Amino acid sequence: MPPDYSGQNLRGRSFKGQNLTGVNFSGADIRGADFSNAILKDADFRGAKAGLQRRWVM
């Protein structure tokens, strides 16, 4: 069973290169999270907060 990150604060977390098939990110705060080369098949991002953290924006 895939992990459930729904509603969690995942700001700035690295998921780089991970297999995230079917993972639930609904309602999570994923601003600044790194999903580089991650497998996101059937991942649920409904209602997730996304974007860059202020300190990374120039």
Give the end-to-end CA distance of the chain in Å, rounded to a whole number.
39
The pTM of the full predicted model, rounded to 2 decimals, is 0.84
How high is the pLDDT of residue 51? 81
How high is the pLDDT of residue 11? 93
Please give the structure tokens belonging to residue 39. 């497998």
Q: Is the pLDDT of residue 57 over 80?
A: no
- pLDDT tens per residue, range 7-51: 999 999 999 999 999 999 999 999 999 999 999 999 999 999 998
Q: Residue 24 forms beta bridges with which residues? A: 4, 44
